[in-house]
Structure 1
Amino acid sequence: MTPVPTSATGTADCSPPRGTKSIRESWAQRRFNLPEVWKLTRGAGVTVAIVDSGVDVTHPQLSKMARSLIDLTGTGGGDCIGHGTGVAGIIGGSEIKGVPFAGVAPEAELISIKHTDKDVGEAGRLAHAILRAVRLGADVINVSVKAYDQPDLKKVVDYALAQDVVIVAAAGNVSKDDGTSTPAYPAAYPGVISVGSANPDGTRASSSSTTTPVSVLAPGVDITSTSPGSAYAEGLEGTSFAAPYVAGVAALVRARHPGLDHLAVQRRIRLTAGGGAGVGTGSGMINPLLAVSAILPSETVAIAPDEAAPLPADAIPRIPVEDSRGTAVAAWVALVSLSLAVLAVLTRLVTPLGRRRGWRPARIESGG
C-alpha cells in the first residue's frame, strides 16, 4: 500500500457555524421512539469510530470523547466546520435531562479520527483514518464523506471488513449545480452499508444520490444534532447525517447480538427496514427497534429435534399374554380324550377275540 501522509498543514481560521441553544424534538427522534429501543440496549460495550472533521468535546453530550480524539491533519482534534460534531451527536450523544435530543446509541464508546479540517478531504488520508480506526479496535466505522475510487481506499476497506468491522458510509448527494452525481466511495464498495437520505414520510430525499448503490435509507432532511460551542444545529440535510443514524443502529445491534459478524449485522438492518420503493432506496427506512429485537430464523441457534412422541396405545394390536395354567389343563383334557378314544377302539377289537377263546389267555405258538 502506498504510504499515506499522517499530518498536514492546518488552517489558522477555525470558525464553525453558530448553532442554537434551544431545540425542539426532531421528527427522527419521534419516529424511532428510541426510549423503547433503549430498554433492550443502549450500545454499551461497542466502539464506533467517526472518520470526519473532528469533534468539539466541550459539548456536554460529547464530553465522554475528551480522550478519544485522533488527529491526522496536524490541526488539533477540534471541529472547525461542525460536520463531525453533528455526526457524533447522532451516533452516540449522551442523554441530558430536559434536552429533546440524544444519540441513537448513547452508551456506545465514540472515537473521533480527524482526517480533514475542511468540507473536503484527501482520499489517501481517508484510507489512513479507516486503517487507524481498525487498529484502535472499532466495531463500527462511520464515514460521512464522499471520495473517488482509488486502490488504497479499496484495500483498507477490504481489510476492515476482513477484521469484522461494520462500515457505514454516506451514499452521497446530488450536485446542486447540474443535478448529477457520481458514485460515492467507500459507500459503493461491496460489503459497506451505503446510506441514502429520507424525508419524514420515508421516501427518498431528492438530494440523495441514485448513482451509488444504496443499502438502506435514514433520516436526512431537517435533522437536528449537536454543534460546536455547546450548541445545536437544526435543518441539517444530506446523506452525511443519514449515515450516522445507521451507524448508531449498527452499534445497538452489535451490543444486543454480539455473536453476529458484520455481514449478519448488515443483513439484520436491511431485513428489518421497510418501505423501499424505486431506485436509490435500497431496503427502505431503517427500524431501530426491529433491528435489535426481530427474530430472524436463519440466526436461531440449531436445536436438536424433539424426541418423537410415543405411539398411541392402540396403534399396534396387543399380543395376548400366554396363560400357562390354562394351557396345561387343555393339554390334560386332550390327552384323556385321546386315551379314551384309543381304549374304545381296543375294546371293539379285543372283545370278539375273547369270546371266541372263551376268555382263555392267549398262547404263543412255538416253531418246530
Structure 2
Amino acid sequence: MRRRTTVLLGLVTLAVLLPPPAALADPTAPADGAGSGTTTLPGMPERLPEGQDGCTTHRGRPTSAAPWTRRSLGLDQVWKLSRGRGTTVAVVGTGVSAVPAVLAGRVTAVGAADRDCVGRGTFQAGLVAGASLPGQGFSGVAPAARILAVRGTGERGEPDPALLAA
C-alpha cells in the first residue's frame, strides 16, 4: 500500500509540475490525432483583477472528450494500481470550493480555505482529484483522493506570506 501511495504521489507531482512535451503542448489536440472538433479552455486567473467586484464565475462547459493528458500520462494504466483512495493531497493557494460535483464530499479545509473566490485552487484540486462524472471525459489524476485545502493567498488571490508561514 505504501508503494502505491508513493507511486501515486510521484505521478500527481509530475502531472502538476512538468510541462508537456512540445509535440503535446496543444491542449485542444485530440489524444489520437483524429477528431473534427476542438475544445478551447478558458483562461485561469492567478488573482482577481483590480476593480473587479465579486468572485470569478463559472466559465466552462462540460465536454465528453477525454483530454489528451489522460493518454500521455498513462492514467488508464496508473488507475489499475490505484485511483488515490486513502490518499489526501494538500492544495495550497486560493482555497478550494467543495461545490463542484467532481470534488463533492472529498474536500477538507483549513480555516477559510473552503472558499475560492478566484477559482484557481479549485481548478488545481480538480486536476489532482476530480472524479469522473457521467457524460464528461475529464477525470483528475487521482479521482478517489481527498483534498486538504490550505489558503496561501488573500481572498482575491494576492500572495500572503503570513498565511504561507502559518
Q: Same fold (TM over 0.5)?
A: yes
2:91 to 33, 45, 50: 50
Q: Are 1:32 and 2:73 matched, yes or no?
A: yes
Q: Shift of residue 13 of structure 1?
A: 4.1
2:157 to 107, 119, 130: 119
1:70 to 107, 110, 113: 110
Identify, as 1 or 2, the structure richer in strand. Answer: 1
Identity of matched residues, %: 32
Q: Give unmatched runs, 5+ long, in structure 2.
A: 1-51
Instruction: Quote the residue 2:62 is aligned against.
Output: 22
Q: Shift of residue 22 of structure 1?
A: 2.6
Letter in 2 for 1:125: L
In the aligned structure 1, how far is the partner of 2:137 from the partner of 2:74? Answer: 12
RMSD: 2.1
In the aligned structure 2, how far is the partner of 1:118 from the partner of 1:28? Answer: 30
Runs of 4+ in structure 1 deviating by more than 6 angstroms, as ranges, are: none
2:123 to 86, 90, 108: 86
Letter in 1 for 2:111: D
Letter in 2 for 1:71: G
Q: Shift of residue 92 of structure 1?
A: 0.8
Give a deviation string over 1:249-300, Cα, whole Å, max 9, x none.
xxxxxxxxxxxxxxxxxxxxxxxxxxxxxxxxxxxxxxxxxxxxxxxxxxxx
In 1, are the aligned partners of 2:152 and 2:164 still within 8 Å (CA)? Answer: yes
Letter in 2 for 1:119: G
In 1, are the aligned partners of 2:106 and 2:145 still within 8 Å (CA)? Answer: no
Give a deviation string over 1:293-331, Cα, whole Å, max 9, x none.
xxxxxxxxxxxxxxxxxxxxxxxxxxxxxxxxxxxxxxx
Letter in 2 for 1:123: P
Give a deviation string over 1:141-190, Cα, whole Å, max 9, x none.
xxxxxxxxxxxxxxxxxxxxxxxxxxxxxxxxxxxxxxxxxxxxxxxxxx
In 1, are the aligned partners of 2:98 and 2:114 still within 8 Å (CA)? Answer: no
Of structures 1 and 2, the one with the larger relative CO (CA 8 A, separation 6+) is 2
In the aligned structure 2, how far is the partner of 1:94 from the partner of 1:26? Answer: 14
Letter in 1 for 2:87: V
In the aligned structure 1, how far is the partner of 2:73 from the partner of 2:134? Answer: 19
SS in 2 for 1:125: helix
In the aligned structure 2, how far is the partner of 1:54 from the partner of 1:65? Answer: 14
Instruction: Quote the residue 2:6 is aligned against.
Output: none
Give a deviation string over 1:195-242, Cα, whole Å, max 9, x none.
xxxxxxxxxxxxxxxxxxxxxxxxxxxxxxxxxxxxxxxxxxxxxxxx
In 2, are the aligned partners of 1:53 and 1:115 still within 8 Å (CA)? Answer: yes
Letter in 2 for 1:121: P
After the TM superposition, which residues 1-368 of structure 1 pair with which residues of structure 2 at under 5 Å, given as runs?
13-23=53-63, 24-66=65-107, 68-72=108-112, 77-116=114-153, 117-128=155-166
The change in CA–CA distance for 1:14 and 1:54 in structure 2 (over 3 A counts) is: farther
Larger Rg: 1
Identify, as 1 or 2, the structure richer in helix. Answer: 1
Count how many residue pairs are aligned between Structure 1 and Structure 2.
113
In the aligned structure 1, how far is the partner of 2:123 from the partner of 2:97? Answer: 9
In 1, are the aligned partners of 2:152 and 2:161 still within 8 Å (CA)? Answer: no
Tell me the TM-score normalized by structure 2: 0.60
In 2, are the aligned partners of 1:71 and 1:115 still within 8 Å (CA)? Answer: no
In 2, are the aligned partners of 1:88 and 1:110 still within 8 Å (CA)? Answer: yes
Letter in 2 for 1:14: G
Q: Shift of residue 119 of structure 1?
A: 2.8
Q: Shift of residue 101 of structure 1?
A: 0.6
